[in-house]
Structure 1
Amino acid sequence: MPENTSTDERRLLIKGATVLTMDPGYGDLTTGDILITGDRITAVGPDLADQVPGDAEVIDARGMIAIPGLIDTHMHAWQTPLKGLHARGWTGDDYQREVFYLREHFGPDDIHDATFSGSVQMLDAGVTGVLDFCHNVMSPEAAEAGLSAHRRTGQRALFAYGMLGSFGAPPEDHAWRLEHVQRLHEEINLGGDGLLRVGMALGSIEYGSMDRVTKEILLARELGMRMSVHQNPPGQIRALHEAGLLGSDIVPAHANAADDSELAALAACGGGISFTPEGEFGGGRSMTILNRAHRAGARPSLGIDTHARVSIDLFAAMRLTFLLMRNVDATTEREAGRWPLEHSPGVPLVQPRDMLEFATVNAAAHLGLGDELGRLTPGRLADVVLVDTEPYGVALGDPAAHIVLQTTPRDVDTVIVGGRIRKRGKVLTDLDPTAAGAATRRVRERVFADAAAQGGPVPDLGPVR
């Protein structure tokens, strides 16, 4: 296999893993090694021992599957402490009433603690990268607190700065956001190390206006910032397209109501959608969007959306997405009388490996890092996850199917971000899960006390906090 070079002399050898490179040119290695120099992969092959100096750290990965680090493209990390709050709700109105109304009770310390807790949990679960859609920026200090938390954890993060302020806020509220996000871009995107970047969480068209969203997009394009937008009502992708604003640098989240012409427009500009299967399926939204987007070439990626509803577990999201897409195809075949003896060409549409591609290759592209992440090949950033298949053994067939259909976060043995080991032997190396739990409790105490003091509804915490 080709070898690349790096200026950083730290070397790490992952030895003896089943390597899923997610690159057609390299394929899978039944027993392979990955050499990391500094923050990059420098070689991948069946036996790299002769290329490794004696001072290299070696990870014995026999019995493990190496995959690119998972990437969540739609996560509201600030909602991490609200875990379980939306368990009984299932509509958008429920979400607004049970979860979103608490937004303005969060101060900067709460944003920091919540983001820290969520980021730690993501790293523990093999999620090395995230688009953190922070639509709770009520002050410049709140945004800076979220960024500080991501720096503290060292997760690879695109912090999507929320442009949506308080409902009914005056125009000045929008002006300071535009000014502040530009300053953060200069400080972090131009002056940082690349592990943390700032993007834009565009204001929802239905809550703001097309004029406001246009200003946001034009500024982001001028600065070269990535964007994401909640796409819930029908026709909004078309509106962006007709205004000449649609591009691959905008990732619509959800998009269940998008029609085929909108998906074609997304595909034509090289874009795709971020799909959050558990929340959308539970909310009764149309699931045909996945199959239609995939067939149209509007590449899907995956997100957890909110910990207020489901666990931080991209393996579960991949598994449910696979089953949903298979169900849509199977239902079509059954209703057409083509089941079980025959089925139409191109059915089934997806295999488990496609789900892993959604959470790695497609997700990396949606973060604007398609040439840097998502595959385990020389020259790419070394974000790697090792999944332990023991003690019960690997599943038969495609090892990607083991990842998608058999794996849970408890099987994540090793997590590497930018060549640095963040978890090994199923234990985080430099982050304390109990500190994340304590941060969650602090947020609950402060936020719920503030809500009660202002006469708002306070969630029922149950018998155990």
Structure 2
Amino acid sequence: MPETTSRTEPRLLIKNATVLTMDPALGDLTPGDILIVGDRISAIGTDLSDPRATEIDARGMIAIPGLIDTHMHAWQTPLKGLHASGWTFDDYQSRVFYLREHFGAEDIYDATLAGSVQMLDAGVTGVLDFCHNVMSPEHAEAGVRAHRTTGQRTLWAYGMLGSFDAPPEDHAWRLEHIRSLHEETADDELLRVGMALSSIEFGSMDRISKEVGLARELGMRMSVHQNPAGQIRALHDAGLLDEDIVPAHANAADDGELELLAACGGGISFTPEGEFGGGRSMTVLNRAYRAGASPSLGIDTHARVAIDLFATMRLTFLLMRNVDASAEREAGRYPLARRPGTPMVDPRQMLEFATVNAARAIGLGDDLGTLAPGRLADVVLVNTEPYGMALGDPAAHIVLQTNPSDVDTVIVGGVVRKRGGRMTDLDRTEAGAAVRRVRERVFADARAAQGADG
């Protein structure tokens, strides 16, 4: 492809990687090179050269598109472990969610910064941060400021859900403030403001209709928790369902709802570690994939599991295989044998969920999710040494053999954020200190409140 970019832009040349482009037209390159000029990929091929570029020797590494988490509550990063043995919604409410009332704006900043640093460190270049802890305009501004500080590519979803007993004016200021915050961030290349819709079970459809109407007026992407059955159909019946709303979880959705979602080009963000650990049905993974409702993946909350999308991809693959195997056994087809469509997925589809599908979910499907000329240069290099790459499909190495410690290099918009296993411009130690500051302030405030209540 002829190069038309300016000579003054920063240039990077990744050499000799196993390149998983995730683009069917380009396929895999073994080995391959990636030339980045400015914030975009200029060329992909073999034996590329550019004397003006900074060169990265990627022998023994696999290059993949930056991973994208489509459902993360970054504000809960300091609450790591609180929901480890959680089982019910009441467990979540009593151990984790009640603490949002004790988070100040500075806590949102520190928590979000810590979560964002951990995500970048683990190869997660992009995130839909579903912030359902916007208790004031200052809380929202702090969350946005934290992501701007770290430089992670972010769709920051402004939480419309206030306190459960909040007066009507609470909703009014949210709608007003999200409009102004959207305008303030309109020119930001890495951060966009989206909307975390009110949970349907806690808010009226009239309220949600106002939220969706404003989001579409402003061109904002949306996400919503889908927990009880029938909520996707309720959005459809209200004339609100479209591809710009990303339901999270949706384990209770029936096949008809999944077909409605697929018909509008939509998808679901699955958080399998939390959903499976919380006792939810996992058949929806297979049913959604079969229906054509594009699956993407998220961590959900660090209060339960690690910030590790490799583990999420791995569990998703195993769960989908298990659902297939269970259906075969129940139909009397055991020992297992391969037949058309069974098993449904291979490891490569899991990487597709966390890149191609995830980019589409956050509204950047034309710019992210694959490694191809003209695409935004969000690239991760995974080191397979010293033990070597797995045999067979290199995508299977990513999904089944990789963990965050294997992430050697992280590039966001052409800027190297991690190299040689070390963050280049962010401090892991400071992220840990931010976690400790939040814990000290939040738990002290919670204890004081409990003491005041007797």
TM-score range, shorter chain: over 0.9
Aligned-partner Cα distance in 2 for 1:317–1:99 = 21
* Residue 68 (str. 1) matches residue 86 (str. 2): no
* Residue 129 (str. 1) matches residue 126 (str. 2): yes
Name the structure 2 match of 1:187.
184
- Alpha-carbon distance, 1:139 to partner: 0.2
Name the structure 1 match of 2:171.
174
Name the structure 2 match of 1:441.
436
Name the structure 2 match of 1:92.
89
Give 3-state SS (helix, strand or coil) of 2:229's partner.
Answer: coil
* Residue 56 (str. 1) matches residue 75 (str. 2): no
Name the structure 2 match of 1:460.
none
- Alpha-carbon distance, 1:92 to partner: 1.4
Q: TM-score, normalised by structure 2?
A: 0.98
Q: How does 1:346-361 map to 2 (within 5 A)?
A: 346-361=341-356
The letter of the residue matching 1:313 is D
Q: How does 1:85-164 map to 2 (within 5 A)?
A: 85-164=82-161
Name the structure 2 match of 1:461.
none
- Alpha-carbon distance, 1:218 to partner: 0.5
Name the structure 2 match of 1:370.
365
Name the structure 2 match of 1:43.
43
Give 3-state SS (helix, strand or coil) of 1:309's partner.
Answer: coil
- Alpha-carbon distance, 1:4 to partner: 4.8
- Alpha-carbon distance, 1:334 to partner: 1.2
Give 3-state SS (helix, strand or coil) of 2:162's partner.
Answer: coil
Aligned-partner Cα distance in 1 for 2:218–2:411 = 30
- Give aligned-pair identity as a percent: 79
Per-residue Cα deviation, 1:148-202 (whole angstroms, up to 9, x for no partner): 00000000000000000011111100000000000011111x2x23200000000
Per-residue Cα deviation, 1:413-463 (whole angstroms, up to 9, x for no partner): 000000000000000000010000000000000000000111179xxxxxx
Name the structure 2 match of 1:380.
375
Name the structure 1 match of 2:229.
234
Assess if the C-alpha contact under 8 Å between 2:87 and 2:277 holds in 1: yes
Assess if the C-alpha contact under 8 Å between 1:116 and 1:150 holds in 2: yes
The letter of the residue matching 1:371 is D
Assess if the C-alpha contact under 8 Å between 2:83 and 2:96 holds in 1: yes
Aligned-partner Cα distance in 2 for 1:455–1:193 = 41
Aligned-partner Cα distance in 1 for 2:166–2:418 = 43
- Alpha-carbon distance, 1:338 to partner: 1.1
**Which has the larger displacement, 332-341 or 381-390?**
332-341
Shift in CA distance, 448/3, structure 1 to aligned 2, threshold 3 Å = farther
- Alpha-carbon distance, 1:344 to partner: 4.3
Assess if the C-alpha contact under 8 Å between 1:130 and 1:156 holds in 2: yes
* Residue 335 (str. 1) matches residue 336 (str. 2): no
Q: How does 1:306-321 map to 2 (within 5 A)?
A: 306-321=301-316
Aligned-partner Cα distance in 2 for 1:377–1:271 = 24
Assess if the C-alpha contact under 8 Å between 1:235 and 1:258 holds in 2: yes
Name the structure 2 match of 1:6.
5
- Alpha-carbon distance, 1:268 to partner: 0.6
Per-residue Cα deviation, 1:244-279 (whole angstroms, up to 9, x for no partner): 100000000000000111100110100000000100
Gaps of 5+ in 2: none
Per-residue Cα deviation, 1:120-172 (whole angstroms, up to 9, x for no partner): 00000000000000000000000000000000000000000000001111110
Give 3-state SS (helix, strand or coil) of 1:263's partner.
Answer: helix
Per-residue Cα deviation, 1:229-252 (whole angstroms, up to 9, x for no partner): 000010000000111100000000
- State how many pairs are aligned: 451
Per-residue Cα deviation, 1:276-319 (whole angstroms, up to 9, x for no partner): 01000001101000000001000100000000000000000000
Q: TM-score, normalised by structure 1?
A: 0.96
Aligned-partner Cα distance in 1 for 2:336–2:21 = 36
- Alpha-carbon distance, 1:343 to partner: 4.7
Name the structure 1 match of 2:34.
34
Name the structure 2 match of 1:462.
none
Aligned-partner Cα distance in 2 for 1:356–1:456 = 49
